[in-house]
C-alpha cells in the first residue's frame, strides 16, 4: 500500500438547507477531518481537526473554519446573508 494513499471512513453525515457535513477518519494515519459542501454557493472545504474536537467540529464546522481560513469563511457568510 502506498504510504501517501489514505482511505477515509465516514463516521457521520448530516444534510440541511443546502449544506452537507461529513465526519471522516483515516485508519492508516488516525487523522480526522470534517468535509463541508455548500450546494447553494458551490463551495466546499475540509478541516483537519484533533480527535478530541471531531464531534464539535462536525456540529459547528464554520466556527472551526474561521480560525483555519477566515477569508474564505467570511466570504461564505456574506454570500449566505445576501441569499436570505
Is residue 24 very low, low, confident or very high in pLDDT (cuts 50, 70, 90)?
Answer: very high
Q: Which domains does the chain have, with CATH numbers?
A: 8-83 (3.10.450)
pLDDT bin (cut points 50, 70, 90) of residue 15 is very high
Asked if residues 53 and 13 have their Cβ atoms less than 8 Å apart, the reply is no
Name the band, by pLDDT with cuts 50, 70 and 90, for residue 3: very low
User: Residue 72: pLDDT above 60?
Assistant: no
Is the pLDDT at 21 greater than 50? The verdict is: yes
Task: For 31-67, write each residue's pLDDT tens digit.
Answer: 999 999 999 989 899 999 999 999 999 999 988 887 6
The set of residues, in sequence order, having a beta carbon less than 8 Å from that of 39 and lying 6+ positions away, is 18, 19, 20
How far is it, in rounded angstroms, from Cα 42 to Cα 22? 16
Amino acid at each position: 500500500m502506498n504510504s501517501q494513499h489514505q482511505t477515509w471512513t465516514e463516521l457521520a453525515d448530516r444534510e440541511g438547507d443546502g449544506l452537507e457535513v461529513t465526519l471522516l477518519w483515516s485508519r492508516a494515519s488516525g487523522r480526522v477531518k470534517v468535509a463541508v459542501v455548500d450546494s447553494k454557493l458551490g463551495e466546499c472545504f475540509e478541516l483537519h481537526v484533533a480527535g478530541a474536537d471531531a464531534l464539535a467540529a462536525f456540529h459547528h464546522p464554520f466556527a472551526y473554519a474561521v480560525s483555519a481560513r477566515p477569508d474564505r469563511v467570511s466570504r461564505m457568510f456574506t454570500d449566505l446573508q445576501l441569499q436570505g
